[in-house]
Structure 1
Amino acid sequence: MGFLIRTAITAVAFYIAANMVTGLYFPSLANLIIAAIIFGLVNAVIRPIVATLSLPLTVLTLGLFTLVVNALMLGLTALLMPGMRITSFGTAFLAALIIWVVSWLANKLIGDRASAT
């Protein structure tokens, strides 16, 4: 149940980011939901490896490089998701920042209920 809630939160965050950032496109609502699932899988499987390898840069930049890692994971999701398009790294960076903020706010409002089920 927690996976479904997190996927729904990510889908809403994608929708908000697509409406706020020019250069982030989803052809349909179904593609947006599938992209949220792929993004969750990318963050679960690939992000820990990239975060570990980039740990020296993350420490050197006092954690700010994490935003670059998030943008890279969003770009990877766009490569894996047919129809999803990101026009530039700047678009991916800004969209990843918006997705992070929306997800953080939603998780704060929901609390640990999403991960407890």
Structure 2
Amino acid sequence: MGHQKFEYHTEFSPFQYVVRTKKLFMFKSEEPTTEPDTQVFLKDSERQNRLAQLDSEGWELVSVQPVVKGEVKVGNQNAQGWSYGLALPIGYLLFFKRPIHCD
């Protein structure tokens, strides 16, 4: 009985955050938040189509790994120094495998 062999494939799936619009008199600016836009991620038809294509080609999703970026804020308010840092996911690495048929 032979050993089963696999081929592997990795894809990156980007993740977005909610952007808030701020208005000050006649000026308008957009400010990113740390609030994930999960609905946009889940409703992305291009991503869904790509996953369906990979499934039809025999790929099996075996693992998901977040890709994060460090977000650091430093400030000084009323001579009170403050700072914080956090890791924000910017997307996900999707790891797939499918068997190699050796004849």
**TM-score with structure 2 setting the length:** 0.26
**TM-score with structure 1 setting the length:** 0.24
Bigger Rg, which one:
2
